Structure 1
Amino acid sequence: MALVESAQGSPFKEEHVPFQEPPPVVTTPADPWPRPYYFDDGLRKVAPYHFTYNTYCKQRWRGRELLDIFASEFRDRPLEYYKDAIERGAVTVNGKSVPTHHIVKNGDVVSHTLHRHEPPVTARPISIVHEDDDMIVINKPTGVPVHPAGRYNYNSVVEIMRAERGHQWNPLPCNRLDRLTSGVMFIAKHPKAAEKLSFQIEGRTVRKEYIARVKGEFPNGEVVCDMPILQISPKLGLNRVRANGKAARTVFKKLAYYPPISESTDKTLQNLGFEPNKEGYSIVRCLPVTGRTHQLRVHLQHLGHPIGNDPIYCNQRVWGSSLGANDADAARDSDEDIITRLSRMGKSEVADAVAYHDEMVDEYNKKKAEKMSGELCEVCQTPLYTDPGEQELCLWLHSLRYEDAGGSWSYLSPLPEWALPPKGQDGPREVGGMEDLVQAVKEENPEIA
């Protein structure tokens, strides 16, 4: 029964309308609140939940069959899954169930409801370095992506902060850190504050300092690396030093050096494909003058001191015994060889080392049989994975400090645990100012300091 309007000026009257069962998709919640977080064994986990993706028809989809679109565009699940999902109404067009051969047209909205399983992240909190009416400066934990992407949604900085401050609160990240990188990040409270800081960062009036834990004893003094960087595989997000790459410059300075670690820990790293730790490790301050993708990781590798637990740039199974040091001309290995070996990681090599690398996660999840628990979800029959290990949640690279070049503000985070002196050894527990690093930049190239 429904109320319908009669002639003008007349009251509403009742009209009997046959009841129609709603499509199954609407029984599925699309935005659970509060967020289904729970904590277990040092990890923040998200209880599996149903989620509906809504996507407008893309130009390349027009005139194509629905199943063909899913088979070619959404390959994280087998074709049989998508065929079944369409047939049982979990995939709809404009809110209605359609056959697998349905032709998608311009303006159509394709919806896909699935039982979503997110990977765990660290349970460490997002700590606050500074907060005022415009901005929150946070110390981002390692292993947590900034934005929802790929398999991550509620396990992201944006959604964790929203869960803590209210459903209507809209955090606006002003700088980006890779998922495995920790440290200083800026979260604006309103668009004007985000625009102001973004303008400063783009105008290169903001200085950034990182801290890294690298293989071997790093040289003394300020070390300037100005080798150009080229992306050799957009699919894998892989970069190398190349003469025909984009200009890049980084200033490094050793903060501390510590002799080799214990034999048992050394063997663990070797089993993951990392270079044996025969030379100890160094804590290095890094001032990126330019902002190329993976710039610090690539420059440190080229200098012969890669980040010690870097799953990509410090892996002998990918780069060989030289680890790509001083290999600007690819004398030992072609780019194709490197790409092939890197693509093979997670399929036939030691998978733990690259399981959650940002640029490889989609491809890796299709192959990583060795990470499957052997169990299936009781609700959706999705294969379940084991929890990530520590090596999959941490990269020894930390955004230590951001400061205005004019001196109006500066924010410094504490040194991460892996940068502190080992038990029983002396070493620095804090870092001084950036004046020495900035001076090294000015001496080399005053116009960009």
Structure 2
Amino acid sequence: MPYLLDWFRLATFFFVVLNYLGLIWDLDFKTKILVYNSNYVNSSSALPSILVLLCGLAALWLGEKLIFSSRNGAIKKKFNPLNQCKKSKKEILVFRNRKTFHGLVFCVGISQVILITRGITGYAAIPIGSASVFSVFIQITNVLNPILLAILAILVLRYKYNSGRISFIFKAFLLLQILLGFVTGMKEAILTPLVIVVVPYILTRKKISNVLILCLAIFAFLLYPVNNTYRTILHESNNLGRVESVKKAVATTIENGFVENLVTGAESYQGRLSLFPILMYSVENEQIWTEFKYLNRYIYLPIAWVIPRFLIPNKPTANSGSILYEITTGNDTSSITPTTYGWSFFEGGLITVFLTFFLFSIFISFINTKSDVNTMFGLLLYILIMVDLLKVESDIFFLISGILQTVFLIVIINYLFFKKRTSVYVRNRITI
């Protein structure tokens, strides 16, 4: 199984490097490249941007080598799911406090429905004071949501837990996440649950049918037209509720025709995968960025993830994308990202890119050494962190902070609901 940082490198290749390769002709024959239909960047910024990429990747490699050098054999064993087929002590995973777990899933699901349908979270959400106690509740709910879905997927798909109730809860919760994803107006909220479920499904060694792959591909292409129409309706029709707006968006999209929607979706994904020009923008305009500089935020990192804002009002706020969008376009209706590499370059140049990526590599590699994908705890960590690392857009400060929150809640949930036992030497097959 790939190491966690391998997923980040893969995302870098698809979202940034491939885009650069596709732009080589334009960079050679044009002096400027358009960014987000609002700004131009000089083609001469391409080579410095490549240097930023290489600097970040070198820091990832160095940090990974530093952590893995003395533990390589143990790590390979932990990240090989086939180890379960070898003869060793039988591991029995006891699923306890089931009614409490069912109640927790129900409460989180209901909370998500209320928060999203009332516009408290999601696209164009109602502003809520970030220093309020209620914001802490929202944050915990948002972090718990993928954790619970991943647990259900692992129980049903990986561990073959044969409980009709758990199987029903898993299917209902997954369907709820997809439906609520449409209401949020955020494509990520729809695709993330599917990615979470795919990993334990693949570990069952079942082959994904070509028909299913085709259906998922068509669904993904149609997702953009529906989502874009929904966002437009939210801005234009303040009297419509979110559920009604989704229905209207779906109806409008259907009227446009299947072929037109596929073309629109393909064009939207092409733009979504084109992150190299905005990286060039960050390299060219680093001096105008003043929201954070020279790692001055990182002093808050040890405590920012666990202490709420109403206790530390000055801790960094995750609104950098909105600020950058306003700087770039003059509007404040959306947010953009210059990629993870661009955020690090905004800190102060190549030196801060190397330092932040080295810290990031040390952090993720250390988690690799402590997690075993052959256990519930380790597989949970792997799936949820993998989802975060597939987005090569996040600021490293908030990425590490969010992962720390996830790890903290996973530790608590694993302690409350699961217990390991070992028995006589038999074929190592995990049961519950």
Instruction: Indicate the TM-score class for this superposition, using the shorter chain for normalisation.
Output: under 0.3
Greater share of residues in helix? 2
Larger radius of gyration: 1
Report the TM-score, using the length of structure 2 for normalisation.
Answer: 0.27
Report the TM-score, using the length of structure 1 for normalisation.
Answer: 0.26
Greater share of residues in strand? 1
